[in-house]
Structure 1
Amino acid sequence: MNVWLKSIALICGYGASLYLIYLATNPEVLIVFLTVSMMLPLIYLIQDRAKQKQYIDHLHQETLKAELSLLKSQINPHFFFNTLNNLYGLAVEKSDQTEEVIYRLSQMMRFTIYDGRKHTVSVQDEIAYLENFIELNQLRHQHRLDIQFTQNITDAQQRIPPLLFINLLENAFKHGVDTLTEGQYIHFCFTTKPELIEFVIENNFDKSVLEKNKKQRTSGGIGLDNLKRRLVLLFPDKHKITTDVSSNTYKTTVSIDLT
């Protein structure tokens, strides 16, 4: 009720002001007054619209940051759950490799906990993380695997998002070489330039064993979906993921345009 009374009072006051101006001056002054009085609300609406858009953009950015944080937090248990299973197997066997695996795992946990929370890390640190992961799995397989890691790095200190490609490497082990008993290989290439990031990975696998494992597995499979979602959030319309699957080989290529 108070709002209606204030609105009526404002309209009456405005009308009275127009009448007084009309009596005291000529029509030209009245036209100028009307023009200015009509422009002021328009200016206010434009400013208010700009503030609302800024607020919505801010909320959108905060939402993206929160989702990215959640996606990165999903990487940690997804990876460490599988690694701890491997470590448990070595401990049961009382393997001499257990201590080295624990050390490698602690280095990776340090990177994940501290650097993984950052928006970017150096290419050098990201590569060290991948190499630790490779060595940990080589120890588990007693260095019987054919793993080739090609690095085409323009600047080792270039900043990139952390933990982008660990899921692809993990999948190459879990769904690739772990399904085979001999002849396992993983070949991958990591390229970074000021205008480009590219990751290409290829591995072989046993299709029948993989299908059997999928039927037995009751959970998991979030790794690749996680990567795709992160790329959508971090590099919208500037990334591409392609896969090439044959009877016994799987190849994934990720390209990111940084221009």
Structure 2
Amino acid sequence: MFKNRYLYIFLHIIMWLGYTALPVLNAIQRDTSKPQTNPYTNPYYWAYVSFSSILLFYLHSEYLFPKVYKQKPIRYFILLILVIAILLVGRYSARINFVGNDINQTLFYINSFIQYLYIFGISASYSFFTDYQKQQSTKRDNEHERLKSELSFLRSQISPHFMFNLLNSLVALNRKKSNLVEPVLLKMSDLLRYMLYEKDDKQISLDNEVKYLQNYIDLQKLRFGDYVDIDFNVKVPTFSKNIEPMLLIPFVENAFKHGVGMIEKPIIRVELQTIENQLLFIVTNKFSNDVQEIKDGASGIGLTNVKRRLELLYPEQHSLKVQQKDNFYTTELKLNLRQVA
């Protein structure tokens, strides 16, 4: 931030040095034998012309345009004419006092007015440009805050939705295999610990996310036993990548939600691999067209949530494909991961 500000000031200084030095250099080059006959070689007159030009530029760009023009345009034009008139009179007085009276007054005012008009044109362009930049910056900041709030809301939905599914699993397990409730609760404590202490505004390592998936799948294996053919295959050469927390779990949840129940020989396959910086995540579950599901108000929240999070966090950095074929439902996610700093 400070570097940009210093660069901004430095560029302005260089611009004004070049602008104010150019008339002097031209005057000396045109008449090397008698440079003193040119008014721009007089230091006092040159100082006034330079100061008045700089004053007009910044008075207009920093005050008249941004603060007066937008609120009271008529007052803006009156003040602008008044400022230019004062500068012209002052410039004529400086010319008389420091250089001499050997000039055509009308021609002098016309030439001086054209120069100030030139300064005004540059200042007006600069004001429009900086104002546009500020508007765009404000727009970007507002959009960033909106997306940040939306992302925070989406993340806040994950925990209750996930807990709802876990508690349903626990109730079902208590009815059928009550002796497994204790190990399942231990697995649930690991999952909850991850949700409470790892899921924050920052990304986490892929290793932690894989462990979280493994715990969830282990919990489901305890619940279903041999009834569901479950396979979790991980091919990750290195875990030195970052990923959004709890981004992958909704796809696995969805597979268990729709891939078990009144389905003959249910099968769930979860495959995760990385190739350089790209993650490939494939979840496949068997389904039956003959089974009519009863959907509640929370149905579909997980997938809808994760799709929106992908749009916000990985714009143009992911692809999501869903396919139904031969009684199998397959979700394939490709994601460009970030390297751990």
1:103-140 residue CA offsets vs partner (Å, 9 max, x unmatched): 11111111112212233111111011111111111111
Q: Determine the C-alpha separation between the residues in 1 that align with 2:177 and 2:313.
A: 43
Query: Partner of 2:178: helix, strand, or coil?
Result: coil
Match of 1:66 in 2: 149
Percent same amino acid among aligned pairs? 32
Change (3 A) 1:256 1:34: same
Asked which structure has the greater CA Rg, the reply is 2
Amino acid at match of 1:158: K
Match of 1:256 in 2: 335
Q: Determine the C-alpha separation between the residues in 2 that align with 1:254 and 1:179.
A: 27
* TM-score relative to the length of structure 1: 0.87
Match of 1:218 in 2: 296
Query: Partner of 2:225: helix, strand, or coil?
Result: coil
Q: Determine the C-alpha separation between the residues in 2 that align with 1:32 and 1:154.
A: 68
* TM-score relative to the length of structure 2: 0.67
What does 1:1-259 correspond to in 2, within 5 Å?
3=72, 6-7=75-76, 9-14=78-83, 16-17=85-86, 20=89, 26=108, 27-92=110-175, 95-180=178-263, 182-209=264-291, 212-213=292-293, 216-219=294-297, 220-258=299-337
Q: Is the helix fraction higher in 1 or 2?
A: 2
Query: Partner of 2:194: helix, strand, or coil?
Result: helix
Contact 1:18 1:30 in 2 (8 A): no
Change (3 A) 1:68 1:192: farther
Q: Determine the C-alpha separation between the residues in 2 that align with 1:4 and 1:45.
A: 15
Q: Which runs of 4+ in 1 moved over 3 A?
A: 2-9, 21-25, 27-30, 89-94
Amino acid at match of 1:35: Y
Amino acid at match of 2:216: F
Contact 1:69 1:117 in 2 (8 A): no
Name structure 1 gaps, 5 residues minimum: none
Change (3 A) 1:179 1:170: farther
1:13-35 residue CA offsets vs partner (Å, 9 max, x unmatched): 13533652685562433322221
Deviation at 1:169, TM superposition (A): 0.5
Q: Determine the C-alpha separation between the residues in 1 that align with 2:214 and 2:77.
A: 75
Give the root-mean-square deviation of aligned CA atoms: 2.5
Aligned residues: 253
